Structure 1
Amino acid sequence: MEQRNKTHASDFLLMEVTEDPKLRSFLFSLFLSMYLVTVLGNLLIILAVSSDSHLHTPMYFFLSNLSVNDICLTTTTIPKMLVNIQTQNQSITYTGCLTQICFVLVFASLESSLLAVMAYDRYVAICHPLRYSVIMSPRLCGLVILLTLFIIIMDALLHTLMLLQLTFCTDLEIPLFFCEVVQVIKLACSDTFINNILIYLATSIFGGIPVCGIIFSYIQIVSSVLRMPSASGKYRAFSTCGSHLSVVSLFYGTGLGVNISFALTNSSRNTAVLSMMYTVVPQMMNPFIYSLRNRDMKEALRKLIVKTPFL
């Protein structure tokens, strides 16, 4: 095999969204609309929670943090892609690529962690209702968010610093619409053993542990609900978990779909589209899921709209 030239990267090339000029304007409008819906929908959730004192509970505190995280995650990827579509220039600077990788790692990991914490919140509310206010105290909730965010940021910075040690080949085309750590590692000509070990560890910690936590929480919830004597009590208990279960299914379902696509398809464009959907669709749908399935959220949104004339 011919040895490719090695270099310290200056620019990477992202995949072009479409090669058809007729589709370019349509896709630009589509992704711009999805981005605006995501931002506005999650902002409404944040405003509704902050403006209604009845929603100043741990469950809605975590929900508002999830909404903030969803806005940040989509903002990390979509605006750059929109600029590339508009300018028909697929390049991203080395610094910009590493920055995007760092933020994607932070917000994707935090999304998974928040879903796990929200599952634990539902577990405590249903299985230990009399101790709920003691266990899920405001101080504990704040500390959980801060500690989780600190650990995630340290992990993302570690990955970024390890990428700085790599030497890249002259072929710097990333088969996605945004910079993703695994794809960037694949472009390196130097040894990536430590980088790959860190990826496996991070995936196990920030992917595996939250999933196990969610599964454990819902096993306990189901076990507790089935022991309830009344059907109405069972329904109320399950209804409080419906929105969260829908969000979890959407987030991990799209993630599973991306991984299966990587394994089964030879089309890098299809995989790239699925990867982009993974960072857009769950974040866009979360506000709709919580506002349509949650009576308290519906009421808070109604009050917010009434109080805000321009809405």
Structure 2
Amino acid sequence: MQFPQIPEQKKYNNRSHMTPEQEAMLAAINDPDNLSKKNEKILRECRDFYLKALKFLKNIDLSKINEKDAKDIKSYLNTIFNYRGVLRNNIYFKYLYRITLVRDHFLEDGKVRDPGFIGYPPLDIIKKIGIYGRANSTETTVLYCSFSENIALLEAKPRVGDRIIISEWIKESDEPFVSYPILSNNIQINEGLVKAYRSLDKTLSGYPDLLKRINMLYFDFIGGEFVKDIPVVHINKFEYLFSAYFSDKVLTGEENKAQDGNNFQYDCIIYPSIAAKHRTDNLAIHPNSVHKLRINSLRDGIVTATNYDNCQEEDFDINSQISVIGGKETRILASIENGRIIWSDD
């Protein structure tokens, strides 16, 4: 795979441990009205490079790449995006929902007892299966949740005959989650997304045009990868390579570590739900932030009917009382004691 050549402006120098591009960006931010000819030239050349490189990346058929290709692409991304656009949005919510497809190895005498099977997958399992998610690579794990039960069901799309557990999670603290919002200017139906994009546009309005353009190329590329609705056919789900790469950088990269080196600045990434046609959002939550939630209810049952293809707009509403599936509920949560799930029929 022959990638577009990296320009000198994006290569680190020993003098400042920064790239000429980074130095030019910093100068433009600190004094936007007095951008020097030298820095203007650097930013223009970088903008032209991004236009070429991002077009090249978008044209890669990720469904046909192999593991070496994936490794080379990520290495190239590390060189292209040797900075991270900083976004931060506090989000307030009470409940989240998640669907767990029950596997045989989850069971003890026919029942799931370990709450760990309800939450995010263990990292060793992620590494073993080698499959990418929209917001995680094969080296990371996150807790995927939705703001409504129906959206969680639409995302998971369990089939008739599947045994599932619907979990409701509650955030008891009034403190917000700090999120990294995924933006897209092409989506007008999601009110929160539109507001966030306008806020970003307002923030960047004080920047020189070249710097604003570079930032928007960055955010539009990321947003486009998160909201793309394409068939996922690769055995490793490499179609998610770009969005997973950026998720890893945001949630587990060095930039996310707080000054104490242990805690993390971002609790989650918030991104538009493909299954809900972008009308609402999903969360990919960092494992270190899951302790801020607790399991509030569990319902174990068998899917007997689905209605995914005939959803109406009201089905996407957070308060919808009509489920997109039919099912036979077998048991509900009674309590969790000493790290063990106690069911209503125990």
TM-score range, shorter chain: under 0.3
Larger RCO: 1 or 2 (CA < 8 Å, sep 6+): 1
Structure with the bigger percentage of strand? 2
Question: TM-score if structure 2 supplies the norm length?
Answer: 0.24
Structure with the bigger percentage of helix? 1
Question: TM-score if structure 1 supplies the norm length?
Answer: 0.26
